[in-house]
């Protein structure tokens, strides 16, 4: 079953749409595994908000008047923004961009920020969806990850949001952490149904360079991540999600029917988007660009030099094709062979199918209604499978 936004956009004459991502580069404290761009000092938050507003005005022609249907506040920790700051940023979008209707306006939030007072304030903003960084309902995991909240606060935040009519909620969960047994992981998954969560993202714990977790493992002060444990818990995720009625519509994202994340789904569909803030990425339809990942350099460039500090890459036809193969295979809708033939020709289609046949024979891919779709068996090897199909 396809969600309406996705289905409508695939109609030949569907109106184009775009999204805006706003990066809020601040956190109260650093999580042990995180390699995103952020600062734990809030000293220059006011200056950063001013720069974000200024960049929105400076970038107003980037999307060429394509209507904005989604805004996504990511980070960092966007729930450190006040009601006034959120409204000011969104009002800047509405004044400078074509906004017919905001289908989805998401705020990433940490559970410890979602007090009843804060949630009451959010009701006076256009925010209509929360992405809550729960990560685990198990206290030991939260301590290991150095999260700023505890398990009780996670439970409370979700219920409080629902009480304030913010029921369009997604939560993040992490599996594969040392000490997380399969029984513990099943208990985390069971909380989804208990709390009536319509959407969730699940990620294996990964060890990134320049993170505290990597340092601790290198110094043998933390157990290494167990790939076999993570793979087994991913398989449990697929099994339990299906039983509970969730659709595994993207490798890391699951939702009840019709509750897919519109903003993120548009990324996978290849629609244009604008990224605002330090380290934010943008896609125009023909090129990608990314802002400098340095708060001081970003604000100086925007507020003093009056220019956006970014680098850019214009994509080749082969890069476009490979990117479509990779992103489409990550979704339950799969790689559309009719699109491949229409956009890149019958010779490319024949070559793609020649590569795919071996993977179909191995049970990694299936051919269904002129689409290549990754099987549950293949989902453990999605990146490798996409790479095998690349041109």
Tens digit of pLDDT for each residue in 119-153? 999 999 999 999 999 999 999 999 999 999 999 99
Tell me the pLDDT of the chain averaged across its residues. 93
pLDDT beyond 60 at 10 = no
> How many angstroms separate the CA atoms of 165 and 42, rounded?
30
Residue ranges of the alpha helices (H) in 257-380?
A: 262-269, 295-303, 317-329, 337-344, 346-361
> How many angstroms separate the CA atoms of 30 and 32, rounded?
6
> How many angstroms separate the CA atoms of 272 and 269, rounded?
9
Each residue's pLDDT tens digit, 25-58:
999 888 888 777 778 889 999 999 999 999 999 9
Instruction: Give the mean pLDDT of 314-333.
Output: 96
Each residue's pLDDT tens digit, 62-71:
999 999 999 9
> How many angstroms separate the CA atoms of 161 and 25, rounded?
24
Q: How many other C-beta atoms can be found within 10 angstroms of the C-beta atom of residue 253?
A: 23
What is the enclosing helix (H) or strand (E) of 144?
A: helix 139-145
The predicted structure's pLDDT at residue 182: 98
The predicted structure's pLDDT at residue 1: 32
Each residue's pLDDT tens digit, 83-107:
999 999 999 999 999 998 999 999 9
> How many angstroms separate the CA atoms of 128 and 337, rounded?
35
Instruction: Give the mean pLDDT of 315-342.
Output: 96
Using CA atoms, how far residue 344 sits from 165, 214, 326, in Å, is 46, 42, 15
The predicted structure's pLDDT at residue 36: 75
pLDDT band at 12 (very low <50, low <70, confident <90, very high): very low
Instruction: Give the mean pLDDT of 155-181.
Output: 97
Size of the chain, expressed as the number of residues it contains: 391
Using CA atoms, how far residue 303 sits from 42, 52, 165, in Å, is 18, 10, 38
Q: What is the pTM of this model?
A: 0.93
Which domains, from first to last, does the chain contain?
4-269 (3.80.30.20), 317-389 (1.10.10.920)
Instruction: Give the mean pLDDT of 325-330.
Output: 97
Instruction: Give the mean pLDDT of 270-279.
Output: 96
Instruction: Give the mean pLDDT of 220-239.
Output: 94
Instruction: Give the mean pLDDT of 383-387.
Output: 96
> How many angstroms separate the CA atoms of 128 and 167, rounded?
9
């Amino acid at each position: 079953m396809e969600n309406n936004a996705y289905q409508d956009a695939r109609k030949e004459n569907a109106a184009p749409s775009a999204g805006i991502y706003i990066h809020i580069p601040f956190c109260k404290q650093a999580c042990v595994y995180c390699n995103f761009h952020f600062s734990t000092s809030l000293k220059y938050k006011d200056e950063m908000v001013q720069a974000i507003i200024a960049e929105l005005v400076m970038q107003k022609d980037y999307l060429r008047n394509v209507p904005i249907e989604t805004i996504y506040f990511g980070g960092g920790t966007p729930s450190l923004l006040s009601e006034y700051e959120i409204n000011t940023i969104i009002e800047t979008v509405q004044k400078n961009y074509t906004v017919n209707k905001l289908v989805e306006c998401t705020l990433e939030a940490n559970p410890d920020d979602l007090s009843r007072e804060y949630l009451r304030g959010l009701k006076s903003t256009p925010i209509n969806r929360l992405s809550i960084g729960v990560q685990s309902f198990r206290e030991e995991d939260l301590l290991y990850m150095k999260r700023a909240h505890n398990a009780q606060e996670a439970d409370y935040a979700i219920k409080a949001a629902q009480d304030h009519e913010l029921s369009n909620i997604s939560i993040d969960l992490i599996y594969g952490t040392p000490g997380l047994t399969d029984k513990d992981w099943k208990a985390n998954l069971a909380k989804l149904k208990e709390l009536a969560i319509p959407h969730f993202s699940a990620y294996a714990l990964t060890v990134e360079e320049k993170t505290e977790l990597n340092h601790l493992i290198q110094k043998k002060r933390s157990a290494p991540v167990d790939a076999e444990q993570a793979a087994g818990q991913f398989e449990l995720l697929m099994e339990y999600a299906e039983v509970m009625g969730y659709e595994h519509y993207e490798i890391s994202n699951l939702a009840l029917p019709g509750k897919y994340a519109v903003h993120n789904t548009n990324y996978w569909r290849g629609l244009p988007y604008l990224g605002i803030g330090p380290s934010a990425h943008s896609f125009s339809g023909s090129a990608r660009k990314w802002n400098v990942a340095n708060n001081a350099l970003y604000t100086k460039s925007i507020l003093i030099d009056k220019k956006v500090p970014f680098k850019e890459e214009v994509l080749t036809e082969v890069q476009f094709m490979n990117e479509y193969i990779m992103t489409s295979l990550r979704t339950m809708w799969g790689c559309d062979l009719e699109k491949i033939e229409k956009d890149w020709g019958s010779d490319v289609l024949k070559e793609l199918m020649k590569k795919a046949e071996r993977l179909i024979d191995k049970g990694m891919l299936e051919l269904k209604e002129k689409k290549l779709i990754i099987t549950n068996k293949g989902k453990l090897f999605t990146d490798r499978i996409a790479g095998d199909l690349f041109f």
